[in-house]
Amino acid sequence: MNEALFQFIWQHSLYKVTNLHTVDGEPLTIMHSGRLNRDAGPDFLEAKIKVGNTILVGNIELHIKSSDWLKHGHQNDAAYQHLILHVVYENDVANVAGNTPVLVLKPGVTHELINKYAVLMQSPQPLPCAGQHTKVREITKEGWLSRLLAERWEQKLGDWNVLLENAAEDWRNLLYWRMAANFGFKTNATPFLLLAQSLPLNLPVKQREHLDQIEALLFGQAGMLEGDFTDEYPRLLQKEYDYLRKKYNLTPIPGHLWKFLRMRPANFPTIRIAQFAALIHKSVHLFSQIIETHSVKEIAPLLDVTASSYWDTHFQFDVAQKEATPKSLGKTSIQNIIINTIAPIQFLYAAKQGTSDLQEKALQLLEAVPAEKNNITTMWAENGWKAASAAQSQALIQLYNNYCGSKRCLECTVGLNILKAV
Ligand code: SF4
């Protein structure tokens, strides 16, 4: 038994609730367990109980051992002078809380529940409840996934709000920054974001008609046009960039920030930058198009871009490939951008406008995208929980990263249902 588990048992009434008595032998009914208090003061607030024939409303304190009352110094603390109940697992010292009625909970808690909790906490598996969550009802799990997705977006969009403020509430800028970070995918998200932030959007947009100038600006600001090149194309970009850099007083980011190691060449930042340049070249009013479009069928073509022809035969400057292959963004990357940039920005925009139907449409967009395949979703699938859509795969990623990994099973609906089923 530990404090977190004891509070959990009390909060969810996971003890034998009938025929309760205080240590003084008074009949006790718990009408409302109270609201868990995570701040200073008693553990549960605004509880309602009946002791004998008297109904009491107020706060409740929990301790594993009654002597903890003294250890924690509650006898000298005014916040603990008017409790309606002191709930203890073991009553090792009598009358520590003066006249406050005392309930000893140990006889009402099953060993099975404590053992199940111990199994979850001691499991060395990455998914401690593997083999058990399949017993939880589908509808319960689906509801939990919806809440996890909301939690994931709340965390993510909190950061985006800060970016939006930095962008002086200019949504086109927010889209430009977030889209750039997304083009960096996991490994190069940070340098890609720094690149976009170092290059005001209006500059590449001004050169929209000229793909080579957009590339010159992006590769130059990425710090990738320094040094001597053999191929004519990078030399041309270098020349263009030198001119534009002086004209607009630009400072590139350090080139060493980009990571190429252990990446598939198709994901090299050079290819992604060239594709990002192609997106800017192709797009007119991208933000309004994205905000107004709510079907994958219509959004996907907006993002379907291919790097310029130099990249058909290269993954890096001056390193030629034997066979030419056009470097298109690809279906999976487009889906990734819909999941990580388009749907969240639509949701945030709708939230700021106060249009809940559009927020709902942003969520539905995720439901229309296939589930992501990565280590986490594969692990869930192998353990009997297969995501039906990107909305569910995002929620399962949130569950694994924020709950399972740190064993927050007591805060998880699956954990609650596993422990409840005793
Ligand atoms: S946090 Fe929930 S889903 Fe994860 S291992 Fe614990 S009970 Fe299972």
Q: Which residue of 5, 113, 121, 127 sits with most ligand 1 atoms within 8 Å of its CB, as the best mutation to test the pocket?
A: 127
pLDDT (tens digit, 0 to 9) for every residue of the chain, 422 residues total? 999 999 999 999 999 999 999 999 999 999 999 999 999 999 999 999 999 999 999 999 999 999 999 999 998 899 998 899 999 999 999 989 888 999 999 999 999 999 999 999 999 999 999 888 888 999 999 999 999 999 999 898 999 999 999 888 899 999 999 999 999 999 999 999 999 999 999 999 999 999 999 999 999 999 999 999 999 999 999 999 999 999 999 999 999 999 999 899 999 999 999 999 999 999 888 888 888 898 999 999 999 999 999 999 999 999 999 999 999 999 999 999 999 999 999 999 999 999 989 989 999 999 999 999 999 999 999 999 999 999 999 999 999 999 999 999 999 999 999 998 86
Q: Which residue of 12, 117, 120, 385 sits with most ligand 1 atoms within 8 Å of its CB, as the best mutation to test the pocket?
A: 120
CA gap 143, 148 in Å, rounded: 9
CA gap 283, 289 in Å, rounded: 9
Closest by Cα among 132, 58, 70, 117 to 95: 70
Tokens 């035969």 locate to 313
Q: 136 CA to middle of ligand 1, Å? A: 11
Terminal Cα distance for the chain, rounded: 16
DSSP letter string, 19-87: SEE-TTS-EEEEEE--EE--SSS-SEEEEEEEETTEEEEEEEEEEEETTHHHHTTGGG-GGGTT-SEEE
CA gap 310, 233 in Å, rounded: 7
Q: Which atom of ligand 1 is nearest to the CA of 413?
A: 2
